[in-house]
Amino acid sequence: MAQTAAQVQGPNQVVVAGTVPDEATRVAVISRMRELYGADRVVDQLTLGSVVAPPQWNQYVSKLLSPSIKQVSHGQLSIQGNTVNIRGEVGNEAVRQQIASDMAQSLNPTYTIRNGLRVAVQEQAVVDQTLANRIVEFEPGSAVLRQTALPILDEMAAAMGKLKGRKFEVIGHTDASGARAANVSLSLARAQSVKAYLIGKGLPAESMAISGLGPDQPVASNATEEGRARNRRIEFRVGS
């Protein structure tokens, strides 16, 4: 299966390695990387082999190699057939979410994105590790928290309470089912419900802002129930 990987090894070197089916693909990948990073920084270690690429693989790889990946440091982007792995450090949670969202929207549902990006901020890491990719669930179509969400929010309140002097943003997201305007309103109402619960656990109201982004920043494909469930989420960002 066709594969390629781009790895930022230092301030002056980006290594592109892997196996591709033909010379045209190799040239396309290397040319795109040189556009992004500059010809003098890109090290070409791609080889040709008897591999089979998924349909329109070249076009999808070109879409993935967007300017947003330049925000990743100490990173690696690996594309193996229909599986995309991205790792490295970014400056904040907003960038981490946006890169994953951009990738999800540039591909078709047959592709899987594994987001291994991490925020190079210790406080954000505390919040992310406490949430641990769990979903804060609500009753269908409403901003009423399910009982399963309460233990998660109790843990979040304890972790956030230890980050003295920090501001937080509670952000609601939905899947793409239904009208966008209704989803934006619902995501905001859900963020407000989470804020109210955290205030009840002792967090100062003035330490938390809320926003609702509706379906605009998916982290998975909306074509499957599993993907839609992942997109229905609450996000916590640490501010200054």
Same fold, 3-119 and 122-238: no
Distance in angstroms (rounded) separating the CA atoms of residues 172 and 213: 6
What are 121-150's pLDDT values in tens digits? 678 888 989 999 899 999 999 999 999 999
The model's pTM is 0.57
Best CATH choice for the domain 3-119 from the list 3.60.15.10, 2.60.40.10, 3.40.1520.20, 3.40.190.80: 3.40.1520.20
Distance in angstroms (rounded) separating the CA atoms of residues 196 and 207: 12
Domain residue extents for the chain: 3-119, 122-238
The alpha carbon torsion through 201, 209, 176, 104 (nearest 10 deg) reads: -100
CATH superfamily label, 122-238: OmpA-like domain (3.30.1330.60)
Q: Which is more confident, 39 or 186?
A: 186
pLDDT surpassing 70 at residue 5: no
Q: Tell me, rounded to whole angstroms, the distance of Cα 6 from its chain centroid.
A: 18
The residue among 97, 92, 139, 127 whose CA lies nearest residue 231 is: 97
Q: Which is more confident, 84 or 167?
A: 167
Distance in angstroms (rounded) separating the CA atoms of residues 144 and 193: 7
The residue among 192, 170, 173, 193 whose CA lies nearest residue 183 is: 173
| The residue to which tokens 């809320």 are assigned | 210
State residue 10's pLDDT score: 46
